[in-house]
A and B are shown apart, each in its own frame.
Chain A
């Protein structure tokens, strides 16, 4: 008798935990949908021709857009990729090909993992002390450098992982036909790991294109078209921050539009990268 009630109690606990775990998953999805829905609804309302083509206007004046910020974000992100991708890629090459079992390699790997967890605002602060304070002005290149520093460890890690997946026989056969190692890496290994490397790069670009904190102290913001890399540069994320905190309704509308644009881009690139990876594993 006692045994039977014990079993029932255990089964009840089990059932409860099943329900709890299902509910927790649903809660997670619920918040995702809630956020996507909110941003989608408010963002669509902000989209019009001016949003993509016009400069921002002072509060109260109709018809402002964020064309300069869209261009600025694109430019800073591209510049960041130009710096961060080669650095990360070749760091990954070193870790996977030359420094696999060396002390220096281990140290670099350890530091990369730590760097990935350093808050992006600290990276921004660091670049501020490096490139803004000495030159006494905010600039697009300072913004790009801070984003590149955030990209570097992510790309290095995935590059190393992806190169490690390439079978050793491929390396050996390349070397056996007399290829120098750099040639084997560039024309054989990179090609074999292509989709994995591309995924890593895309994910890193997606991640930094939504970053705000590192740009606050480096690229800053500006209501004008940029005329060069050495001046404060408008960008979408800092604009969202400034406009959302302002008391003006038309600025808040623009902030929602910018949010949707950024979110759609980041999620789009993310999904693209994942599809690439899935095709590879098939």
Chain B
């Protein structure tokens, strides 16, 4: 009996080990299956439109003509707006949290910024549609157009033309910025805190001001980490769905004006999936999803590779 017990426990050890290996393997299987499944279920669209899908502008369910360009364009533009706002803001917020604020203040403010990341994206959508978009339409957009005179400005005027409707690329970009801000800030804060005090102190000792230490020493020391943080934020912004769907306007057309309605890959999927009755329509939407998957996969891959290289060159810590 006891020998049987021994046998079982020995056996159980191996079983347990293989069970954990199996669990770990599911992660790889899921990742691989995502590509295979999406590609297989987009096969009609891939066969019909080929790679030209990426730059074809036409999206007409009535004629069964599908092209991804307006969605890709919207995804890239809204993400670009988000990054242009979120990256500098994250740098100065991280600066505030690490260098300037009293530790207690830093803890409270840092906690509040982190809470922004915990708010579900559909809440951003509700707030964006019912509160922020009207605010943009009534206050911000007229201010940009008239008070600052951007509508008539040479060169950049066309980005700010059109009726101030509130919903559109700019609003979507600002909300996206708010959503990725806490993620970028968190990494930047770690990067700033990782710079050895000796390095900073020697700069202070030479009479540098806090800002000079930050942008000449801290930022340069942590530049790779900062870039890594931006990649992570970028990946998040690209695939964000609900908040964008609520405020981007969902129109399949491309316009230079940031006040105009547009769409993104994710918002097209969320909006039109229920309507896709024809197989080719459904396959085109899944093809669109595959494009987004490849985009985010590449960005994440680059980010991970970058962070990994960073870890090797700087030792542990990040």
Contact = CB atoms under 8 A, between A and B. Distances in A.
A117 interface: yes
Contact of A241 (B122, B127, B266): B122
B118 A270 contact: yes
A22 B212 CA distance: 17
Contacts of B262: none
Interface in A241-258: 241, 244, 252, 255-256
A210 B120 contact: yes
B56 interface: no
B225 interface: no
Interface string B100-136: 1100000001011101101111111111011100000
A122 B236 CA distance: 12
Nearest to B297: A114
Given A153-B27, A206-B118, A130 B37 contact: yes
B291 to A, nearest CB: 10
A91 B209 contact: no
A82 interface: no
A263 B123 contact: yes
A91 B23 contact: yes
Contact of A120 (B23, B38, B239): B239
A119 B95 CA distance: 29
Contact of A90 (B23, B127, B273, B301): B23
Contacts of B9: 180
A121 interface: yes
Contacts of B119: 32, 35, 210, 263, 266-267
Contact of B301 (A104, A114, A116, A130): A114
Interface in A1-37: 10-11, 13-14, 17-18, 20-22, 24-25, 27-29, 31-32, 34-35
Contacts of B165: none
Contacts of A107: 28
A5 to B, nearest CB: 15
A172 to B, nearest CB: 17
A211 B31 contact: no
A179 to B, nearest CB: 10
B110 to A, nearest CB: 9
A94 interface: yes
A217 B273 contact: yes
Given A31-B178, A122-B292, A149 B30 contact: yes
A29 B236 contact: no
Given A28-B112, A118-B296, A125-B269, A87 B241 contact: no
A39 interface: yes
B120 A266 contact: yes
Contacts of A266: 118-120
A133 B25 CA distance: 25
Contacts of A13: 209, 211
B20 A29 contact: no
B34 interface: yes
B155 interface: no
A216 B271 CA distance: 10
A119 B27 contact: no
Nearest to A12: B209
Contact of A35 (B123, B210, B245, B269): B123
Counting chain A CB atoms within 10 Å of each CB, the highest count among B12, B123, B296 belongs to: B123
A115 B27 contact: yes
Contact of B238 (A14, A119, A125, A180): A119
Contacts of A113: 300, 304
B93 interface: yes
Given A94-B20, A121-B270, A212-B120, 7 more contacts: A32-B115, A35-B123, A35-B124, A94-B21, A113-B300, A129-B38, A213-B241
28 contacts: A13-B211, A14-B209, A21-B95, A21-B96, A28-B109, A38-B130, A91-B23, A93-B20, A94-B20, A95-B24, A97-B20, A105-B24, A111-B27, A118-B297, A121-B241, A121-B292, A122-B289, A122-B296, A125-B38, A126-B37, A181-B17, A182-B12, A212-B242, A213-B266, A213-B270, A216-B270, A244-B125, A252-B130
Interface of A: 10-11, 13-14, 17-18, 20-22, 24-25, 27-29, 31-32, 34-35, 38-39, 42, 86-88, 90-91, 93-95, 97-99, 104-105, 107-108, 110-123, 125-126, 129-130, 133, 149, 152-153, 156, 180-182, 185, 206-207, 210-213, 216-217, 237, 240-241, 244, 252, 255-256, 259, 262-263, 266-267, 270, 274
The 5 closest A-B pairs by CB, nearest first: A119-B239, A210-B120, A14-B209, A94-B20, A182-B16
